[in-house]
């Protein structure tokens, strides 16, 4: 897969599912709970990556 196709796929995935995964993360859901409870058409690894990236970005924004 080329760089453009990969970027487009990542954008589409984040647009469709990223907000919901970030919301559920804020409410304490694990990637396993998200995958099992909501049946997103994503792999566990993809959910883990979205969650990890979100938590890393969120920790950078917190003062302190």
Please report whether residue 11 resides in a domain.
no
- Ramachandran sector of residue 62 (left: φ over 0; alpha: ψ -120 to 50; beta: rest): beta
> Over the stretch 3-47, which tens digit does the pLDDT of each residue have?
999 889 888 988 999 999 999 999 999 999 999 998 888 999 999
- What pLDDT is attached to residue 64? 61
Please report whether residue 53 resides in a domain.
yes
pTM of the model: 0.81
| pLDDT category of residue 50 using cuts at 50, 70 and 90 | very high
**Would you tell me the crossing angle of helices 31-38 and 44-61 to the nearest 10 degrees?**
130
- End-to-end, the C-alpha distance of the chain in Å comes to 40
How many structural domains compose the chain? 1
What is d(CA 13, CA 16) in angstroms, rounded to the nearest whole number?
5
> Over the stretch 17-28, which tens digit does the pLDDT of each residue have?
999 999 999 999
- What pLDDT is attached to residue 18? 93
What is d(CA 49, CA 22) in angstroms, rounded to the nearest whole number?
11
Helix (H) or strand (E) holding 50: helix 44-61
Domain housing 33: 18-61
């Amino acid at each position: 897969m080329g760089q453009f196709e990969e970027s487009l796929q990542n954008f589409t995935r984040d647009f469709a599912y990223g907000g919901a995964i970030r919301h559920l993360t804020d409410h304490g859901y694990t990637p396993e709970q998200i995958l099992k409870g909501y049946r997103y058409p994503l792999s566990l690894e993809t959910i883990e990556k979205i969650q990890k990236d979100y938590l890393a970005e969120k920790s950078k924004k917190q003062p302190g």
